[in-house]
Structure 1
Amino acid sequence: MSMTTPPGWYADPGVPGSERWWDGNGWTAHTRPLGGGASYQQGHQPSYQPAPRQPGPVPRRRSVFLGVVAGGLMLLATVVAGITLFGDDGTKTVPRSAPTTSEPAGGPTGGGDESPTAEPSADPDVLVDQLNGITLPIPDDWEKSDSMVDRAVTMTTVADRECPGETNRYCRYGRVMSSTATQTDAATPEALAKEDIQDASDALYDEDSIGNALYGGVKSHTVVRSGAVTVAGRTGYLVRWKVETGSGPGGHVQSLAFPSTIGAESLIVVRFAFDAGSEGPPLSGMDTITKGIRAIGDTTGGVGSSIGPS
């Protein structure tokens, strides 16, 4: 019988000294120091006394053999660690495999007795931005994405196609990503949305992070909507462009900015990219997702209320 590792904080297999949240299906972006749920008790580690050596010399042939074996094991461990910690491009990655232990960090070795609490990220019908304290409803025929772009949580359409401007590459028809606004002096949602829309257009339709023009580049744009909007009970602002690309039918890109519902109420920016054309998602989906954004734990009426976390 197969066993599924329950959601919880586990030792991060890619970052020693840290714990990472396992949502029951895969690793999330949320980390904390090892034992963050309970302090370690010092001085209670079991002592170890090596067994006395047996009299008499060890034959030289056996010593050489043991040295070769030990060296080989060390080399194998180094190679495995390199594969685990670094991707093909040298960037640090986290393995997608489940934790191998059924006991969460903070157990006997950590001195804690608390069991992990469930995170709403296990709900297949919502995309959870735990850092910013919000959930976004996932439309039919969409799915959560494993990729992290600029530390944003992302969802995409299930369907994809060969990118119009690139062969042997595939693009999703729709993408939505939520993140905390950083590297900006914008003090209001309106200022942030108007500032971010150009960057969103460039990132989603002009060139990707390594310079590939997947849509043949953005040739022009038209502002189709701009104005205030209520998001999760907060006053936000959105700007929506229709972009014409060098290849394919182009699409719509939107920057939605609003204050977080937690902490210092930092500004959140949600970027939308819906491909145009008959196979692209309906543009009304942008409004549906916007209306369904909720603070984590909010079960009030309206779009998305039935799929909010408990």
Structure 2
Amino acid sequence: MTQVTPPGWYPDPGQKPEGPRTERWWDGSVWTEQTRAAETGAAPGPPAYAPAAPGAHPQAYGYPQTSQPPGQFGHPGYPGYPAYPEPKPRRGLKIAIAAGVAVVVLGGIVGGVYALTSGDGDGKSDRADSSSSPSADPGLPQAPGDGPGGSGGSGGTGGAGGESGAPQAPGSGGGFAADLVNGVSVPVLDGWTGGTTKGGNAGVTTGPYACPGDTKQQCVRGGAFSASAEALKLKATGAKAAAEEDISKNAQESYGGAIYGKITSHKELASEAVTVAGQKGYLVRWQVVTAKGDDGYVESLVFPAPADPKSLVVVRFGIDVNDKAPDVTSMDKITKGIKKSAIAEGGGNGQNV
């Protein structure tokens, strides 16, 4: 039987090295936006092992791992980032989530998330069998969750190499998934689950199921993941140019690849300016046709980080074209619900959410 990390104040996983020490409230399943100054006298210790989600093989969006990350089971001294169960290949999107030099390789597929993970940051990702164990970031409290639609990210099959593990949190619908790096929170729609990656980014997913191409892998019908443009190695410095640069990468990493077949064609559904968290951003949305399996919708949304307008935030979406997948309008609902948060700024009195 696995144990669950109890609610309480713990060292803030989004703590800035140069800032004052803070603590964040863990509600028993996910990190909240409540923070407070850390109590004096006790310096934070190293991340403890994260509790595993109930169930032998929790489902989640994220990245399957070739080996179990440290701190996956047991009762941690304090929770780390909530981790998502690992989704596996299905057909679709790969999403790269990064924080600093660590890039989380999300393997999500549109119509089924395929999880890939790599911990060396060299861009090479290793396939992992999600059935073997839940995907989690070292030191992240873990709970059952869904993966993004697709096989590599927000709904596809792979991700940009880097940090291994994916966010995971129990619960379905309501609340927000916090991006501790970029200072934004992504809404968790009804029927979706969300959480924070070890690297500090946000991810939400829905519709876990056995991947068609490999039933041992776990996929999801839809997903959205945040990352910085720098982590995704985008060269563009403006929101519009960055979205246009990222969409093809998003589509290829999500629905391309040998396992799910190549993308045979695509149609642009939208390319427009949009306001996100009070910032002027831009989105590009495609519908892609694949050689096998479900087709998918992919979107790259880019906007300046509220806490640092010079830095761009990228949210990659992926949703299967399937009756069991969420409606494509879920992308719009998530976009409208993204809000600025004080997470990346530190501090707080622990009372306001």
TM-score, with length taken from structure 2: 0.53
Aligned to 1:23: 26
Q: Does 1:100 align with 2:103?
A: no
Letter in 2 for 1:269: V
Aligned to 1:154: 203
**Pairwise mapping of residues 15-164 of structure 1 onto structure 2 (< 5 A)?**
23-25=26-28, 89=66, 93-95=70-72, 97-100=74-77, 125-144=175-194, 152-157=201-206, 159-164=207-212
Letter in 2 for 1:196: D
CA distance in 2, matches of 1:202, 1:97: 38
Letter in 1 for 2:340: A
Residues 5 and 152 of structure 1: is their aligned pair in 2 closer, same or farther, counting only changes over 3 Å?
closer
The more displaced of 254-263 and 161-170 is 161-170
Contact 1:26 1:97 in 2 (8 A): no
Contact 1:26 1:98 in 2 (8 A): no
Aligned to 2:247: 197
CA distance in 2, matches of 1:233, 1:3: 35
CA distance in 2, matches of 1:126, 1:147: 13
Counterpart of 1:7 in 2: which secondary structure?
Answer: strand
Contact 1:260 1:266 in 2 (8 A): yes
The more displaced of 240-249 and 250-259 is 240-249
Q: Does 1:218 align with 2:263?
A: yes
Residues 265 and 89 of structure 1: is their aligned pair in 2 closer, same or farther, counting only changes over 3 Å?
same
Letter in 1 for 2:307: I
Quote the offset at 1:39 in angstroms.
Answer: 8.2
Counterpart of 1:269 in 2: which secondary structure?
Answer: strand
CA distance in 1, matches of 2:227, 2:69: 20
Counterpart of 2:316 in 1: which secondary structure?
Answer: strand
CA distance in 2, matches of 1:261, 1:251: 30
Greater RCO, 1 or 2 (C-alpha within 8 Å, sep 6+): 2
Letter in 2 for 1:23: W
Aligned to 1:252: 297
Identity %: 30
Counterpart of 1:266 in 2: which secondary structure?
Answer: strand
Residues 220 and 145 of structure 1: is their aligned pair in 2 closer, same or farther, counting only changes over 3 Å?
farther
Counterpart of 1:277 in 2: which secondary structure?
Answer: coil
Quote the offset at 1:90 in angstroms.
Answer: 6.1
**Structure 1 portions without partners, runs of 5+:** 12-17, 29-35, 42-80, 82-86, 103-120, 299-308
CA distance in 2, matches of 1:274, 1:256: 14
Equivalent in 212, 226, 236 of residue 281 of structure 2: 236
Number of aligned residues: 219
**Structure 2 portions without partners, runs of 5+:** 14-20, 32-36, 43-48, 50-63, 80-168, 344-351
